Structure 1
Amino acid sequence: MASSIPISMGSLVLGVFIAFAMVGSVSSSRFDELFQPSWALDHFAYEGELMKMKLDNYSGAGFSSKSKYMFGKVSIKIKLVEGDSAGTVTAFYMSSEGPYHNEFDFEFLGNTTGEPYLVQTNVYVNGVGNREQRLNLWFDPTKDFHSYSLLWNRRQVVFLVDETPVRVHSNLEHKGIPYPKDQSMGVYSSIWNADDWATQGGRVKTDWSHAPFIASYTGFEIDACECPEVVAAVDNIKRCSAAGGEKGYWWDEPTMSELSLHQSHQLQWVRANHMVYDYCKDTSRFPVAPVECLHHHH
């Protein structure tokens, strides 16, 4: 019996270590550790690590992060509404609060069966948006889970799809253009009926006979600087930026201040092959190009 004790102890320690290692690697993927439903709680369903949110003719639904953050990276894997999703919008975004809020949006605009989903991105700075870009994807986002990410540091905001950059909003403060860098942001997602504009400019309405419309989520990850509500904003700003003298964050590394050459090529490919609308080129809306468009070379 005595000889078996070290073995059982060893396996116990190993088991604890493996369990701990697993917790460390998957803890961020659980919905309830990072997020909470914010409305229509009865429109949520949980299946293991999957969370499903539905839209029907009674209500949409939405969730929000439990904390707010300043700089870092947030990612969610989403499988979008299958079949005829015309009129529906599924959104994944970061936003601060108040009339002069900052916001980074992914909005997935539903389609009639067989038509491609459109992805609309937008950037709000100090309460001002109107920076829409639209693209179609190089895959069917309703057939499987794909990763959608927002990387945010003091130099750039990068929108990524399966780690491929699809949009960059650079810090051009040296050109007198405001940049979002001093408001903490929550992470949000919602599904709602937007058939007044979402599909073909509102011409195609939601067909409620196909309801409920279900978006599925997994792989919730937030690797960012958390901003406790009890801490003064100015102290959060100091702590979350390298100026605070804290240990450096990976997103502040010099290599993260702009896209790599490979990423730049990826973005060029996306823009050339998948972009269907760019506010910078919409002369009917903007007879004079918005000032940041003159400097964003991507």
Structure 2
Amino acid sequence: MSRVPLLLGLFMGFVFVGVAFAAAATATAKFDELFQPSWALDHFIHEGDLLKLKLDNYSGAGFVSKSKYMFGKVTVQLKLVEGDSAGTVTAFYMSSEGPNHNEFDFEFLGNTTGEPYSVQTNVYVNGVGNREQRLNLWFDPTKDFHSYSFFWNQRQVIFLVDETPIRVHTNMEHKGIPFPKDQAMGVYSSIWNADDWATQGGRVKTDWSHAPFIATYKAFEINACECPTVSSKSVEDLVKRCSSSSSDGKKYWWDEPNLGVLSLHQSHQLMWVRAKHMVYDYCSDTARFPVMPVECVHHSHTKVVGKN
């Protein structure tokens, strides 16, 4: 599915922490410190520490991080479009460049008033996507701010909502399955019109009488390894730079052994999300995939730490 830019970032230095994702020492940053508009500057609204992106029948808007990153955690707090938001998509994602890019997506799909808000996630590895999962959020994301995060290292990628894992993509290179660990990615966010597919498969169109549609952001956080935007270093050098296998011997917090798998508590949270809130999983879509994708077989047996 087509998408337009979205998101945020900051280099916090290489911070050591010993426990879980939330334990990483982070601080929020102002938008201008981390990002820059990528299109439709006249659809940006700044109100103190809040950033609002506006969608009307002329344009949406988007922004991109000033730096690229490999391994760590990226978070934004977001309040989604209120009321009738059918046809709209607010996207928050990370992506590298080129046809063989890697990408992690949150896509918040607009709805008609009274329906649950759904979020679609996707993972691209070496340019191959079509790995959508969709769930209905267990709260109203239009009434208050909630945090949405990507955590990734050489062993797993985790999508988190208010620190609750909603999706895990584990490294199974030993089984011949590519894993997104060799490309630095920018952070993006955008709001745009996608009424050809976003709401009830495109059956409900955008009602422009309700425009402008506003998505509101605050508290941009990135605790990740910053990579040069233009670099003569090889892929191997960049991976080593951002991992504990680097020549300087530093131990980066995202490489702590306990962050290579979910804790028991996190595993239970993920199972709850899948059982109670998931409404679509490509792994179960036999029409699209008559033969189950090989990663689905292995992801059904998620590794967990014995103690939380």
TM-score of the pair, normalised by structure 2: 0.87
Is the counterpart of residue 282 in structure 1 residue 285 in structure 2?
A: yes
Q: What do the CA deviations read for 1:80-123 (whole angstroms, capped 9, x no partner)?
A: 00000000000000000000000000000000001111100000
Aligned to 2:157: 157
By percentage of residues, which structure has more helix?
Answer: 1
Once the two structures are TM-superposed, the CA of residue 26 in structure 1 deviates from its matched residue by 8.3
Answering whether residue 257 of structure 2 is matched by residue 254 of structure 1, we say yes
Greater than 4 Å deviation, 4+ residue runs = none
The TM-score, its normalising length taken from structure 1, stands at 0.90
CA distances 1:43-87 after superposition (whole Å, capped 9, x unpaired): 001111100000000000000000000001000000000000000
3-state DSSP of counterpart to 1:295: helix
Give the match's secondary structure for 1:62.
strand
Check if 1:44 corresponds to 2:44.
yes
- Matches of 2:177 and 2:46, distance apart in 1: 43
1:195-218 CA-to-partner distances (Å, cap 9, x unmatched) read 000000000000000000000000
Structure 2 residue 252 is the aligned partner of structure 1 residue 242: no
Q: Does 1:58 align with 2:58?
A: yes
Per the alignment, residue 171 of structure 2 pairs with 171
Q: Distance in 2 between matches of 1:231 and 1:284?
A: 43
Partner in structure 2 of residue 20 of structure 1: none
- Give the Cα–Cα distance (whole angstroms) in 2 for the partners of residues 89 and 230 of structure 1: 31
SS in structure 2 at match of 1:188: strand
Cα distance, 1:236 vs structure 2: 2.2
Where does structure 1 lack aligned partners over 5 or more consecutive residues? 1-24
Q: Distance in 1 between matches of 2:105 and 2:65?
A: 15
Structure 1 distance, partners of 2:162, 2:45, is 25
Bigger radius of gyration among the two = 1
Name the amino acid aligned to 1:39: W
Contact 2:26–2:223 (CA<8 Å) still a contact in 1? no
CA contact (8 A) 2:59 2:192 kept: yes
CA distance in 1, matches of 2:77, 2:163: 11
SS class of match (1:183): coil
Amino acid at match of 1:43: H
Task: Report the identity percentage.
Answer: 80
Structure 2 unaligned blocks of 5 or more? 1-24, 303-308
Amino acid of the structure 2 residue aligned with 1:51:
L
SS of aligned partner of 2:98: coil
Give the total of aligned pairs. 274
Q: CA RMSD for the aligned pairs?
A: 1.1
Q: Aligned equivalents of 2:90 and 2:155: distance in 1?
A: 28
Deviation at 1:27, TM superposition (A): 5.7
